[in-house]
Amino acid sequence: MPVRWRLPVLAAAAAALLTGLYAGLLLLGVPVPAPAAPVAEVHGPVLVFGFVGTLIALERAVALGARWALLAPACSGAGALVLVATGPGPVGQVLLMTASVLLLGGYRALWRRGPGVALLAQGCGAFAWYAATLLWLAGFAIAEIVPWLAVFVVATIAGERLELTHVAPRHRHAERWFLAALAALVAGATAASLWPAAGAHLFGAGLLALTAWLAGNDVARRTVRARALPRYVAVGLLAGYGWLALAGLLWAGAGATLDGPRYDATLHAVFLGFTMSMIFVHAPVILPAVLRRPLPYHRVLYAPLALLHLSLLVRVVLGDAAGWRQVWRGAGVTNVVAVLAFVGCALVLSLWRRAPASRPGPGPARVAAVAP
């Protein structure tokens, strides 16, 4: 699959990221020009499916090596652009749903090559993408399908990390516990759609179970004591698991929420603290795999990673919990700055830095998020 075929898809993902961040500024109440289309209403799906989903589907297409698989990221990228141009509507929603079906087809082809629990988890993530878009088309509000959006990113990343744990000693029943936690997560998302009040508690419990498995079995617990890229990846992973645990506690303890400070804290713990952290730390491995261009590790990458987590901590603790509105807004703007700073660092390192390829880190040579 020629690299030139991947570039338009990456461009669509980049556009989804930038417009999603811009919509975030609008939701924060930052005085920026408002576009004609209601992009703030599609902020979540554009970032989760248009950006993260396109990256995951593109990496899967590259791994599969089949030209038809490139249709999945093409559809998700196109769907995000349609939503940005027109706002919520069936055309963009159908394109996103089509992307999830094609991604499921890609996982089926990979399953034929080598079935496994890790691939099953990633397939569950793709199914969650499909379920979210189907419910959205059926009239559910975006806030009501958030558990499925979370299952998409969490199950996909968990599957990637499970593959990695094969290089580390594990308990012989580790995969069984993983499957149990994954089943609880999917059952919780289903229950949250059918019985929102009770189902959210079950979903939170499933999320906590899967987070506990990841934190207890991931090689990041050991590689955090390493140096260079392995340590950078491990720091981002462990910090991301912390945010995922917070989201699980909020869902399990307080139940469903569709707006307000707790909604803001829960969503951004999953999609900023966890998912974006995964993307940050796996980019030095993802970019060479997708674009065949190195992204050498440099300690400057810690700067946007630290800024992301610190600003999110301020946003959740002082903004959402304490109710300091101006601090909440400022921290939210800093979240956006952190993401853009990482993109800038990655571009500079990839285009200008002349260095031998970095040693393989603990992250798989695939998107682990969101990786996210």
pLDDT in tens, the chain (372 residues): 667 788 899 999 999 999 999 999 999 999 888 887 788 899 999 999 999 999 999 989 988 888 899 999 999 999 999 999 998 999 999 999 999 999 999 999 999 998 999 999 999 999 999 999 999 999 999 999 999 999 999 999 999 888 766 545 466 778 889 999 999 999 999 999 999 989 999 999 999 999 999 998 888 888 888 889 999 999 999 999 999 999 999 999 988 888 999 999 999 999 999 999 999 998 888 887 777 778 888 899 999 999 999 999 999 999 999 999 999 999 999 999 999 999 999 989 888 755 444 444 333 334 333 333
What is the pLDDT, as a whole number, of residue 284? 87
Same domain, 169 and 298: yes
- Tokens 């993802």 sit at which residue? 286
User: Distances from the Cα of 9 to the Cαs of 19, 133, 135, 204, in angstroms?
Assistant: 15, 20, 26, 34
Residue ending a domain, choose from 88, 115, 142:
115
Same domain, 213 and 346: yes
DSSP 358: P
User: Distances from the Cα of 251 to the Cαs of 83, 146, 177, 254, in angstroms?
Assistant: 28, 11, 21, 6
d(CA 197, CA 226): 44
Decide if 301 contacts 361 (C-beta within 8 A).
no
Same domain, 128 and 107: no
- Residue 167, φ and ψ in degrees, nearest 5: -90, 0
Number of folded domains that form the chain: 2
Same domain, 184 and 300: yes
Side chain identity at residue 8, one-letter code: P
Residue ending a domain, choose from 84, 115, 146:
115
Same domain, 55 and 100: yes
Same domain, 104 and 140: no
**Helix, strand, coil percent content, the chain, rounded in steps of 5:** 80, 0, 20
Q: Two tokens at 171?
A: 């308990």
Same domain, 58 and 74: yes
Q: Which of 218, 182, 176, 217 is nearest to 203 (CA)?
A: 182
Same domain, 153 and 17: no
Domain hosting 71: range is 1-115
Residue ending a domain, choose from 115, 147, 173:
115
Same domain, 47 and 177: no
Same domain, 75 and 147: no
Give the CB-side neighbour count of residue 180, counting CA atoms within 13 A. Answer: 8
CA dihedral 170→173→179→182, nearest 10 degrees, is: -60
